[in-house]
Chains A and B, each alone.
Chain A
């Protein structure tokens, strides 16, 4: 898939160097007792590195494995700082306190000179998920029609990712174009006006703080359609949730099953072919209980001193074995 690498002009002429500690910062704060052994991110290090220190929710240190199947990684260790806000990560990269960071949508297009950016294929689905209290389908469909996805994509997401009406991205399912998202404010107003007044007030739960701006825009769009949407505190699930689900597999059936599990939807036990997957997804989306909005990529930033090509795979998996550090940090 697409990997964008903004490399320094002299990179091709340099040779890999061994040594050093690659400092990585992530938003997620993993509170498990043991380091994760599956999924993207930390678990991807397990091939070339071995865990040497685990401070749940704070820090993890992985040391290079001299006996790694693909050869010893260039860096001696990878130190992962967890629970860092995107803004703090960006500052840390600027001042040289971090080598690899996650990039928020707003940061990706205004990076400092020399900063590298690694972008995966769209591997996360952002969707609105209605709770059982929102019984009126007109309210659900009205909100789905009211959301101005294009504005959000252009401004808040800085055109990273794609608008979608499907749960699975096009590059995985191949049929996502069949679920074209509709935006019709007039129709949304009509549908919501037809609903009883008591149903026209909703609370919108946001699980991830980075989605707060998107939630505010959804609330604003909803207000234009005659719906009063208040963003609920983070701990409050709300009547409707704005969620981001990571797609863990490039296999459509497994990916859909994973999304269904994450959203609390019921997926068929067996989806043997593409048609079955399509039918299953269509069934999930009927009734507007789930309204897909976007498919987003994973985006990472790296300092210019980080060499060795892209640090992530198309699915967003970490590939730090081939990275090395060169030159001084700021």
Chain B
């Protein structure tokens, strides 16, 4: 990833993160506000319910007290035989607008029941047991009906005539009609759960809409704790928040729960709209940031890129590369420093080339002098012997002359050989590439050296990789290079040892290794080993490894040497299958 891309990415991510944080904050603030409004609406509805509840309570109380204060009730209370009044409750309930009405004698026996006429004579012990009734106040109670149990808002009035007493228990059912009297804003609904069965029963949930079963947990929690509870039911646009109020009976038992549901569709739509706006703004911001970032990063990175390109050119050997200085800022100062550095490098290289050239000439002169001195000394001795024999021993001159000329010819031959080697190095031909099976080539070369290796007491090992590929190479030049390495190894092991030649697949290419167990190399020797005319031996031209390096280089390969004093040396040649 380029610096510019990275910079652009950071810039973009920063914008996205900022937009995301802003969106999140806005959503949170909106959510809080919605919750506050929702709570306010629920509170208003709860207040409305309580008012309606109180109003209905007063109605019930008034009706019940009206019946309790009537002559009818007094007649029933004082009647020695109230059985003839068993049908009275129905008419009284209808006249006073009550759903439920029971006239109960002082001993708790029902005289007349409007909601269940057949229950006459049954006992309502709870009336007698309670003793002191809250006259003038309504309460919730479960009331039995022929077809089940219902929840009612009830009141009790006690009629006393001497030692006789009559309880008037009247009430109105808390049913769908009661809920319908609540004025609900849009998106809100009221549900009434009547706890008439031992376990939660969805059928006892009155009110519009689904989710009766989903509210089970909330209802059970509210009834168990007898405290107002709040819960969100559902998810997304279908979610609803519910406030649940417990409805207690005269003895404190939770007989039901009022649930006020508020749709969260508005919040969901608002959040969705905000999200859409946020995404649009973020997308626009990102596009703008990308454009601006691209422009800004281009301004910042263009001089850096020029510097990078120049550095790459310098690394590739173009030391005369310079960078255009377009500003006076840090980048401009960096460019000036770069130019100064490349100038210095150029000057140093010039000086180094000159020094190396001189050194090479000196080395060549030293080597030539050394190489030529060896044959010249026998030549001088031979000529001086021939002169001395001519003057002092004329009778032996012929013999001396014949031997002398042979010696002269031999040494001249040496001189020619030395000159030819230098000439060979000077005119290394271009390789003629063809597919080469190095495993086979190495085996053939090793056969040529079998006698020489045996004579030198060196054990030869071939570790050839069967998977080694065929590589494009000049077999003649590579043979020459490998022979030089083998000869070099033999020279390194004057007291015998082990010569190992390996091949190994290296990707699509090949690695050749020639190892010896000789005296090894110092790090300095490793560094200079491929310098022409450099040798660690007392004989030799110092051209052998230079020729090897030249061949490997002409094959676009790479040669290296590793070793330590006393631990032998290993030459590695890596050849890539560039043409294969």
Q: Which residues of A contact B (CB under 8 A)?
A: 106, 109-110, 148, 151, 154-156, 158, 213, 216-217, 219-220
A156 lies within 8 A of B86 (CB): yes
In this complex, what residue of B is CB-closest to A158? B84
Q: Nearest-CB distance from A264 to chain B (Å)?
A: 27
A106 lies within 8 A of B84 (CB): yes
B31 within 8 A of partner (CB): no
B118 within 8 A of partner (CB): yes
Q: A148-B121, A155-B83, A220-B116 are in contact. List 14 more A-B contacts (CB 8 A).
A: A106-B86, A106-B87, A109-B84, A110-B84, A151-B120, A151-B121, A155-B86, A155-B121, A213-B118, A216-B117, A219-B118, A220-B118, A220-B122, A220-B146
Return 25 A-B CB contacts under 8 Å, by A number.
A106-B84, A106-B86, A106-B87, A109-B84, A110-B84, A148-B121, A151-B120, A151-B121, A154-B83, A155-B83, A155-B86, A155-B120, A155-B121, A156-B86, A213-B118, A216-B117, A216-B146, A217-B118, A217-B120, A219-B146, A220-B116, A220-B118, A220-B119, A220-B122, A220-B146
Q: Which of B97-146 contact A (CB under 8 A)?
A: 116-122, 146
Chain A contacts of B87 at CB under 8 A?
Answer: 106
Q: Which 5 A-B pairs have the closest CB atoms?
A: A216-B118, A217-B118, A155-B83, A220-B118, A155-B86
Chain A contacts of B119 at CB under 8 A?
Answer: 220
Chain B contacts of A154 at CB under 8 A?
Answer: 83
Q: Nearest-CB distance from A115 to chain B (Å)?
A: 15
Overall SS of chain A's interface: helix
Q: Which residues of B contact A (CB under 8 A)?
A: 83-84, 86-87, 116-122, 146
Chain A contacts of B122 at CB under 8 A?
Answer: 220
A151 to B83, CA, bound (A): 9
B83 lies within 8 A of A158 (CB): yes
Q: Nearest-CB distance from B88 to chain A (Å)?
A: 10
A213 to B119, CA, bound (A): 10
A220 to B118, CA, bound (A): 7
Chain A contacts of B116 at CB under 8 A?
Answer: 220
Overall SS of chain B's interface: loop
Chain A contacts of B117 at CB under 8 A?
Answer: 213, 216
Chain B contacts of A148 at CB under 8 A?
Answer: 121
Chain B contacts of A156 at CB under 8 A?
Answer: 86
Q: Nearest-CB distance from A128 to chain B (Å)?
A: 15
A102 to B32, CA, bound (A): 75
A106 to B120, CA, bound (A): 14
A216 to B122, CA, bound (A): 14
* Residue from B84, B118, B119, B121 having most chain A Cβ neighbours under 10 A: B118
A133 to B83, CA, bound (A): 36
Chain B contacts of A151 at CB under 8 A?
Answer: 120-121
A213 to B146, CA, bound (A): 12
Chain B contacts of A110 at CB under 8 A?
Answer: 84
A219 to B119, CA, bound (A): 10
Q: Nearest-CB distance from B94 to chain A (Å)?
A: 14
Chain B contacts of A155 at CB under 8 A?
Answer: 83, 86, 120-121
A148 to B119, CA, bound (A): 11
Q: Nearest-CB distance from A52 to chain B (Å)?
A: 39
A217 to B118, CA, bound (A): 5
Q: Nearest-CB distance from A213 to chain B (Å)?
A: 6
In this complex, what residue of A is CB-closest to B87? A106
Q: Nearest-CB distance from B560 to chain A (Å)?
A: 98
A154 to B84, CA, bound (A): 8
A106 to B121, CA, bound (A): 16
In this complex, what residue of A is CB-closest to B111? A155
In this complex, what residue of A is CB-closest to B86? A155
In this complex, what residue of B is CB-closest to A108? B84
Chain A contacts of B121 at CB under 8 A?
Answer: 148, 151, 155
Chain A contacts of B118 at CB under 8 A?
Answer: 213, 216-217, 219-220
In this complex, what residue of B is CB-closest to A231? B146
In this complex, what residue of B is CB-closest to A220? B118
Chain B contacts of A219 at CB under 8 A?
Answer: 118, 146
Chain A contacts of B120 at CB under 8 A?
Answer: 151, 155, 217
A188 to B146, CA, bound (A): 21
In this complex, what residue of A is CB-closest to B109? A151
In this complex, what residue of A is CB-closest to B147? A230
A106 to B119, CA, bound (A): 16
Q: Nearest-CB distance from B557 to chain A (Å)?
A: 99
A218 to B485, CA, bound (A): 124
Chain A contacts of B84 at CB under 8 A?
Answer: 106, 109-110, 158
A220 to B119, CA, bound (A): 7
Chain A contacts of B146 at CB under 8 A?
Answer: 216, 219-220
Q: Nearest-CB distance from B130 to chain A (Å)?
A: 24
Chain A contacts of B86 at CB under 8 A?
Answer: 106, 155-156
A220 to B121, CA, bound (A): 12
In this complex, what residue of B is CB-closest to A219? B118
A75 to B116, CA, bound (A): 45
A155 to B119, CA, bound (A): 11
A155 to B110, CA, bound (A): 11
